[in-house]
Amino acid sequence: MTVVEHKYKSNNMAAQKLKLNTGHEMPIVGLGTWLASIEDVRAAVECAIDVGYRHIDCAQMYGNEKGIGLAVEAKIKENKIKREDVFIVSKLWATHNDPKDVRSAFMESLNNLKVGYLDLYLLHFPMAFVNNGQVFPVDEEGKITVVDIDYMDTWKELEKLVAEGLVKSIGISNFNEYQLTRLLKECKVRPASHQIELSPYLMQDRMIELCKKNKIAVTAYSPLGSNARPWATKEEPVLLNDPKILKIAERLGKTPAQVLIRLHVQRGIAVIPKSQKAERIKSNFQVFDFNLTEEDIKLIRSIDIVQRNIAFELASHGKYYPFRDNYTE
């Protein structure tokens, strides 16, 4: 099993880490940075580091890595942290999955983040989009223009980054079981982590079991339901307002967000809640002084809504689109 097992009763934040199959350790709670401007993300990361976060999740696609780099640089200059104290994750976006584009995209992220190496670099999506300068390159019909590039060819370029010492660990995001199984058969460097959408609306037990069986750490994104995403509708349920979550939170004297984050921590899963508000950034990190009971977890699992919020549906026509039912290549 790739995770370091803890009781999670200690307030010693440094102890709450997952052991990756590369031997490196990843703090179990990190800061998500999607949908934040360069200015806002800089303030959020500086606040998070002051609070005690030592895991910052980034991505080329978010377009705000420069702000994160400025924040980390500032905190290093203040002697608040050393580079080796903070675990920095970024991701290769689908417009750069062509093997010839991988290294230059990685170096751009590295330069934006103002660091000499990354702790973890993820293949953000198993399918490739055309590289025309747009994050989501759409055609006249509004569909994303996909390119038939095998994710294994992209992965081989990430392996080269490890060999060069530019990144300590590499991993994946948004793969399905078939794709992950194939990757494990054909890779030279095994993925250290798989970042997937996880919440009570999408528990993904089979994927988690597959990852743990193969010593791959799991990171949960959108753990609070992702109602701030641009395409969310007013009719959608709001996970933070679910009566079952509210009941548990009230009994424990915790916030609904803390309950949802704690759920993943107790499952041995890293979790990267996103916020730009100082109070919530601090609150989201205060999840190491309580435990959910078996009854609490059963109640959460009884939530009968099944919903994938991050589905990239405009790319569903692509060969390597991961979220089709009964997927085979």
**According to the model, what pLDDT value does residue 120 have?**
98
**Residue found under tokens 């670099």:** 121
pLDDT of residue 234: 82
Kindly report, residue by residue over 73-87, the tens digit of the pLDDT. 999 999 999 999 999
- Tens digits of per-residue pLDDT, 184-204? 999 999 999 999 999 999 999
Q: Are 303 and 200 in contact (CB under 8 A)?
A: yes
Would you name the residues annotated as active-site residues? 62
**Residue/partner pairs of 21-26 with CB below 8 Å, 24 or more apart:** 21/190, 21/192, 21/215, 21/216, 21/217, 22/168, 22/169, 22/192, 24/119, 24/168, 24/169, 24/192, 25/87, 26/55, 26/87, 26/119, 26/120, 26/193, 26/217, 26/219, 26/270
Instruction: Residue 273: name the closest of 293, 85, 281, 265 by CA.
Output: 281
Q: Is 18 exposed, middle or buried (0-12, 13-18, 19+ CB in 10 A)?
A: buried
Q: Are strands 146-147 and 128-129 parallel, antiparallel or unpaired?
A: antiparallel
Which residue positions in the chain have pLDDT lower than 70? 1-15, 326, 328-329
Torsion of CA 232, 236, 237, 238, to 10 degrees: 20
- Helix residue ranges per DSSP H, the chain: 38-51, 65-77, 99-113, 151-163, 177-186, 205-213, 243-252, 256-266, 278-284, 294-301
Q: What is the pLDDT of residue 230?
A: 74
pLDDT at 18: 97
The domain 15-232+266-277+309-315 is placed in CATH, from the list 3.40.50.880, 3.20.20.100, 3.40.50.2300, 3.90.380.10, at 3.20.20.100
Q: What is the pLDDT of residue 55?
A: 98
The upper half-sphere exposure of residue 218, i.e. CA atoms within 13 Å in the direction of its Cβ, equals 28
Contact partners, residue 188, CB within 8 Å, separation at least 6: 156, 159
pLDDT at 4: 45
Residue burial 43-76, b: 16+ Cβ < 10 Å; e: rest: bbbbbbbebebbbbbbbbbbbbbebbbbbbeebb
Number of C-alpha atoms within 13 angstroms, CB side, residue 287? 29
pLDDT at 303: 96
Three-point CA angle 211, 127, 37, nearest 5°: 90
Show Cβ contacts of residue 214 under 8 Å, excluding neighbours closer than 6 positions: 180, 184, 190
Ranges of each domain in the chain: 15-232+266-277+309-315
Question: Alpha carbon 19 to chain centroid distance?
Answer: 16
pLDDT score, position 229: 78
Tell me the pLDDT tens digit for each residue of 21-44.
999 999 999 999 999 999 999 999
